[in-house]
Each structure stands twice: as structure tokens, then as C-alpha cells.
């Protein structure tokens, strides 16, 4: 990793940081050892002074000229001296008019002045390699950009500030302390370091495992906030599935009719409900049918149900439960689901009491997709489903990145191996291997111990200019 870091310091990179398209302003960022020289080569301050003559971080008014001396654009430029910049290197940013031609012209002038095109995520990668931020914080930058809800943004910002990192570092330190103590016992058995008995190994590792478990407990919520909750609406024909979708969306998205078998294909919509991003699929009513196209639709409904993290089973509250309803309820056994008793405006056939077996205590919400009555109850239920007991995002740490979640799980498994080894009074060396693995997985989260390929893979998913 040392080699890479050195190479980074030597190369100056540039890219357009704002979205390419028409905008009020566009920004070109140049970073690296020659950033200032490249900036001075293409930017002329209206005052006639050099950028370097101004105090750092000052926005300077001027123009960009091309090689023939003709004016390209009227701009503002700023010089940020490393390490006090995004990359922790010398950075010059030029704010020009946000037109594609202007941005590309200035970008190519920066290349001519010695910069090379930045790779995706390379500015953030440099911030990481230069030690300004750790890997979790770097990944949080992308999460901030991609946040689909206020809650997801909040979680990402907390991560960017280092909340998750410091928790993970703390846990890793506890493991490293155990390792150091065990090493002392192995190296100097004659000193008979009493404190480091098996009991105390078990104790420390148990404590750390508990900490990891606590982080994992919120991972489900974190993932939903980041990627959206996949929800499938299922039920027999005509119970009001499409009406419920329209009611949630507050628009006439799906065709609704009194004919059973109206919806043939899956209709998928993404939106926020009670601040929670959901990916909702309305499906064809499930029933035995001779109709070829409808049968394909029914097959699709089953497939969508299998992929969903939450199933909404819609029942028609104005009629008695039928055999078909019970068959559909069978399909959600063992999954996360909620039962909607629809058409409450038509009066209730009191079908809630007909639900038996495991469905007796199932979550049931009565509502009317036609009038919207009861929709708030459903929204509240969904918030609790996602956040746990509370309806809002708590102050805790929410792991929302699959990479972090996997590493936490791996670390936990290694700790459990260490605990079993300790309980079986295996030699210290064996316990040590597991503990080192456990600590290594935690280090990979923050980037303290991580291979170059992984770093490259993470940053390759970033956008250019970030
Ligand atoms: N009174 C009343 N009628 C409703 C309600 N929800 C749906 N309906 C009516 O029930 C009929 C069927 O509604 P849809 O939303 O098309 O039902 P679906 O479950 O999507 O039906 P398929 O697509 O055929 O499986 C329509 O005539 C709706 O107007 C409700 O809450 N109250
Ligand atoms: Mg429908």
C-alpha cells in the first residue's frame, strides 16, 4: 500500500465534479502535487494576481483562457492547500458556467497543464490513502449521495462522521488487547501471567462478540433504508390489491375494475411511505385459471412473493373468507407478512375472527383502499416493522452496507470459534488464530487491514469526480 500512496502523491488528477448537463454552475477539481501550477496555468485572476498570492480557501474571480489566449469562460477559482482539502492534497477548484462545452474545455486545459483524468472515486480514494478518512467514512460519501430517504441520509452522515468506525475500532482494540496478553503468556510462560486465565479470555471475547451482535441487530434496518424494502401485495382476484397500491401512491397507477383478473402483470413502484423507501409490487390475483395470460401472471405473483422481504396479503373484508384466501395465507407462512382487511367502508363481515391457527395473532389492519381510512395505521405499522419498537430512526448505529455486515458476521464467527477453542482448553496458539482472524475482519471494515484489490473494487463503484 505504501507504493500506491507514493504514486498518488506524484500524479495530479482532474475531473468534473458536478453532474454533466446544463446547470447554473459546474466545478472542475484538480488534486495533487501540481494542482496549483495547473490551476495557475489555465486561470487568470481579474486582479492580475496569482492564485497563490491570495489567502488559501479564497474564492477568486477571473477567467480561463485557452492556449491561443482566447477566453473560454468567466469563472471563480479557489486554492485549498493540503492537508486541509477533500483529498488532503493541494486542490484547485474552478467554478465555471455549468454547460457541457465549458466544463469539457476547461477539463481538457487542465490535462494540457499536466493533470490526468481522475478514475471513479479517486478523489475520495486519495482522502482515504492519505489518511484523512477511513474506509467506512469513504463509503459513507457514496451513501450520502445515493440516500433515498432522510433516515438513510442521517445514517450515512453519522457514518461519515466516524460513529461506526470508532465503535468497530473499539471492538477491535479489545480483541487486540486479548491477543497481546495471550502472546505474553506464550512468550514468557515462566512469568505465569495469572490475569490471562481462560476465564478472562472468555470474558473479553464474549464482551466483544456482544458488541458485534449489537451492531448486527440494526443491520436489517440499515439495509432497508439504503436499498428500500421489497414488498409484494398478494391476494385473490378483486380484493383490492391494485386499489391499495393506488391508495398508497395517491395516484391512479394501476387499472382497477370490478372484473376479477384485472391485473395480469407485475406493477412495481418505488416511493417513500412514512419516510421509508419501499419497492412495492402489485401482482395478479392468485387463482386457478384457464386463461393462458392470466396463468403467467399468477406464476409471476408467486415469484415476486418469493423475492419480497414483506408480503401484504389483501383480503376482502366485505365478504366471507374463501378457500382461495386460506390457500394464499398458506403461502406466507414462515415469511414476514401483514394482513390487510380491505373494503372496510362496505361494513365488515368480521372475517378477523375467521383467521385461525398462526393467523389468529397475525398483524391485521382493517382499511379502505377506496376512502383511505386506516392508511395511517398501516404506515405506523410499517415504521415499527422497520425501526423496531419505535416509529423513528433511533440514535444508534445502523450498519447499512452489505460489506460491513458480512465482515461483522465473519468476525463474530471467528470469535465464536475462539470461544469454543478456549472452552475446550485448546492450546493458546489455536485460540490466537481465531482471534487474529476476528480482529482482521474488523480491521477490514475501517480499512486498517485491507488488501489493495478490495480498496480498488470499492472505489471503482464511485462516480467520476467524487
Ligand atoms: N367499496 C370499496 N371497493 C373497493 C375497495 N378497494 C377496491 N374496491 C373495488 O374492488 C374492485 C376490485 O379492485 P382492484 O383493485 O382492481 O382489485 P385487485 O385485487 O387488484 O384485482 P385483480 O387485479 O383482478 O386481482 C374494484 O371495483 C374496486 O373499486 C374499497 O376499499 N372499498
Ligand atoms: Mg389488480
Cα 393–397–398 angle (5° rounding)? Answer: 70
Same domain? 318 vs 372: yes
- Asked whether residue 394 is domain-assigned, the answer is no
User: Given this model, what pLDDT does residue 440 score?
Assistant: 96
Report the alpha-carbon distance of residue 267 to residue 252 in Å, rounded: 12
Return the half-sphere exposure (C-beta side, CA atoms, 13 A cut-off) of residue 275. 16
Is residue 333 situated within a structural domain? yes
Q: Mind spelling out the 3-state secondary structure of the chain?
A: CHHHHHHHHHCCEEEECCCCCCEEEEEEEEECCCHHHHHHHHEEECCCCCHHHCCCCCCEEEEEECCCCCEEEEEEEEEECCCCCCCCCCEEEEEEEECHHHHHHHHHHHHHCCCEECCCCHHHHHHHHCCCCCHHHHHHHHHHHHCCCHHHHHHHHHHHCCHHHHHHHHHHHHHHHHHHHHHHHHHCHHHCCCCCCHHHHHHHHHHHHHHHHHHHHCHHHHHHHHHCEEEEEECCCCCCHHHHHHHHHCCCCCCCCCCCCCCCCCEEEEEEECCEEEEEEECCCCCCCCCHHHHHHHHHHHHHHHHCCEEEEEEECCCCCCHHHHHHHHHHCCCCEEEEEECHHHCCCCHHHHCCHHHHHCCEEECCCCCCCCHHHHHHHHHHHHHCCCCCCCCCCCCCCHHHHHHHHHHHHHHHHHHHHHHCCCCHHHHHHHHHHHHHHHHHHHCCCCCHHHHHHHHHCCCCCC
The predicted-structure confidence for 163-209, as pLDDT tens digits, reads as follows 999 999 999 999 999 898 888 777 766 655 555 567 787 889 999 99
User: What is the domain extent for residue 207?
Assistant: 141-218+400-447
304 in the same domain as 258: yes
Mutate to test the pocket of ligand 1, among 249, 252, 256 (most ligand atoms within 8 A of CB): 256
Do both 41 and 168 map to the same domain?
A: no
Q: Which of 387, 422, 437 is the last residue of a domain?
A: 387
Counting ligands in written order, the one closest to the CA of 314 is: 1
- Residue 162: the pLDDT is 94
Position in ligand 1 atom list of the atom nearest CA 369: 31
- Is residue 28 a part of any domain in this protein? yes
Indicate the pLDDT class of residue 2, thresholds 50, 70 and 90: very low
Q: Is the pLDDT of residue 320 over 70?
A: yes
Query: How does strand 337-342 pair with strand 364-366?
Result: parallel
Q: Do 288 and 352 have their domain in common?
A: yes
| Residue ID of nearest Cα to ligand 1 atom 12 | 238
> Are 27 and 159 in a shared domain?
no
pLDDT at position 395: 87
| Alpha carbon of 286 to ligand 2 centroid (Å) | 10
Domain-located, residue 379: yes
User: Do residues 211 and 245 both lie within one domain?
Assistant: no
C-beta of 240 in contact with ligand 1 (< 6 A): yes
**For 400-435, how does the pLDDT look when each residue is reduced to its tens digit (9 = 90+)?**
999 999 999 999 999 999 999 988 888 888 899 999
346 lines ligand 1 (CB under 6 A): yes
Q: Which atom of ligand 1 is nearest to the CA of 243?
A: 15
Residue 272 clears pLDDT 90, i.e. is over it: yes
Residues 320 and 361 in one domain: yes
Same domain, 327 and 439: no
Pocket lining: 147 vs ligand 1, CB cutoff 6 Å? no
Average pLDDT over residues 305-318: 96
Return the pLDDT at 245: 97
Q: State the pLDDT at residue 405.
A: 96
Minimum mean pLDDT range among 101-115, 140-154, 189-203, 436-450 = 189-203
Same structural domain, 280 and 263: yes
Q: What is the pLDDT of residue 189?
A: 63
Is residue 392 domain-resident?
A: no
| Listed residues 364, 387, 410: the one ending a domain | 387
CATH number at residue 122: 3.30.1360.120
Q: Which of 235, 238, 325 to mutate to test the pocket of ligand 1 (most atoms within 8 A of CB)?
A: 238
Is the C-beta atom of 165 inside 6 A of ligand 1? Answer: no
Number of structural domains in the chain? 3
Query: In this structure, is residue 302 part of a structural domain?
Result: yes
368 lines ligand 1 (CB under 6 A): yes
User: Does pLDDT of 385 surpass 90?
Assistant: yes
Domain end marker among 357, 387, 417: 387
CATH number of the domain within which 353 lies: 3.40.50.300
The residue whose CA is least distant from atom 10 of ligand 1 is 240
Residue 464 lies in a domain: no
C-alpha distance from residue 95 to each of 38, 200, 358 (Å)? 15, 59, 62
302 Cβ closer than 6 Å to some ligand 1 atom: no
Residue 336 in domain: yes
In tens, the pLDDT along 131-163 reads 999 999 999 999 999 898 899 999 999 999 999
Do 358 and 245 lie in one domain? The reply is: yes
pLDDT at 10: 75
Q: Determine the pLDDT at residue 1.
A: 40
Mean pLDDT (whole number) for 264-276: 94
Could you give the CA distance from residue 10 to residue 33 in angstroms, rounded to a whole number?
A: 6
> What strands lie across the sheet with 71-80, from one edge to the other?
43-45, 60-65, 71-80, 91-98, 23-31, 13-16, 116-117
Q: Report whether pLDDT(128) > 70.
A: yes
CB of 414 sitting under 6 A from ligand 1: no
Q: Are residues 36 and 110 in the same domain?
A: yes
Residues 209 and 242 in one domain: no
Q: What percent of the chain has pLDDT over 70?
A: 96
Cell 475500532 identifies what position?
169
84 confidence band (pLDDT: 50, 70, 90): very high
Lowest mean pLDDT among 98-107, 111-120, 155-164, 340-349: 340-349
Amino acid at each position: 500500500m505504501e507504493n500506491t500512496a507514493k504514486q498518488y502523491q506524484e500524479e495530479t488528477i482532474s475531473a468534473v465534479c458536478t453532474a454533466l448537463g446544463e446547470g447554473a454552475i459546474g466545478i472542475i477539481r484538480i488534486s495533487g502535487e501540481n494542482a496549483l501550477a495547473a490551476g495557475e496555468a489555465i486561470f487568470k485572476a481579474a486582479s492580475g494576481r496569482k492564485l497563490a498570492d491570495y489567502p488559501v480557501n479564497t474564492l477568486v474571480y477571473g477567467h480561463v483562457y485557452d492556449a491561443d489566449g482566447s477566453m473560454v469562460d468567466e469563472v471563480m477559482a479557489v486554492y485549498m492547500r493540503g492537508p486541509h482539502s477533500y483529498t488532503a492534497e493541494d486542490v484547485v477548484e474552478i467554478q465555471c458556467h455549468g454547460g457541457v462545452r465549458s466544463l469539457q474545455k476547461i477539463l481538457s486545459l487542465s490535462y494540457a497543464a499536466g493533470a490526468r483524468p481522475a478514475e471513479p472515486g479517486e478523489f475520495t480514494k486519495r482522502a482515504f490513502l492519505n489518511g484523512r478518512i477511513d474506509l467506512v467514512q469513504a463509503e459513507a460519501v457514496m451513501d450520502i449521495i445515493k440516500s433515498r430517504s432522510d433516515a438513510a441520509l442521517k445514517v450515512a452522515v453519522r457514518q461519515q462522521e466516524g460513529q461506526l468506525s470508532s465503535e468497530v475500532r473499539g471492538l477491535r482494540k479489545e480483541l487486540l488487547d486479548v491477543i497481546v496478553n495471550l502472546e505474553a503468556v506464550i512468550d514468557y510462560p515462566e512469568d505465569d501471567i495469572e490475569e490471562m486465565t481462560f476465564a478472562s479470555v472468555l470474558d473479553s471475547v464474549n464482551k466483544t462478540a456482544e458488541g458485534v451482535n449489537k451492531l448486527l441487530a440494526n443491520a436489517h434496518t440499515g439495509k432497508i433504508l439504503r436499498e428500500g424494502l421489497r414488498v409484494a401485495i398478494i391476494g385473490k382476484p378483486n380484493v383490492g390489491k391494485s386499489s391499495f397500491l393506488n391508495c398508497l401512491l395517491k395516484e391512479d397507477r394501476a387499472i382497477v375494475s370490478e372484473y376479477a383478473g384485472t391485473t395480469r402483470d407485475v406493477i412495481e413502484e418505488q416511493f417513500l411511505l412514512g419516510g421509508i423507501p419501499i419497492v412495492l409490487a402489485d401482482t395478479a390475483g392468485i387463482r386457478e385459471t384457464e386463461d393462458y395470460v392470466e396463468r403467467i401472471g399468477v406464476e409471476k405473483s408467486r415469484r415476486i412473493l418469493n423475492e419480497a422481504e414483506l408480503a401484504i396479503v389483501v383480503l376482502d373484508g366485505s365478504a366471507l373468507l374463501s378457500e382461495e384466501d386460506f390457500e394464499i395465507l398458506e403461502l406466507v407462512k414462515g415469511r414476514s407478512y401483514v394482513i390487510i382487511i380491505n373494503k372496510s367502508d362496505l361494513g365488515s363481515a368480521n372475517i378477523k375472527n375467521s383467521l385461525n391457527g398462526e393467523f389468529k395473532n397475525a398483524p391485521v389492519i382493517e382499511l379502505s383502499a377506496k376512502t383511505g381510512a386506516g392508511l395511517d395505521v398501516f404506515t405506523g405499522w410499517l415504521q415499527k416493522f422497520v425501526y423496531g419498537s419505535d416509529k423513528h430512526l433511533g440514535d444508534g448505529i445502523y450498519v447499512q452496507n452489505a460489506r460491513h455486515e458480512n465482515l461483522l458476521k465473519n468476525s463474530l464467527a471467528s470469535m465464536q470459534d475462539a470461544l469454543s477453542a478456549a472452552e475446550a482448553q485448546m492450546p493458546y496458539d489455536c485460540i490466537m488464530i481465531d482471534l487474529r482472524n476476528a480482529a482482521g475482519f474488523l480491521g477490514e471494515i475501517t480499512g486498517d487491514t485491507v488488501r489493495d484489490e478490495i480498496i480498488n473494487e470499492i472505489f471503482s463503484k464511485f462516480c467520476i469526480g467524487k
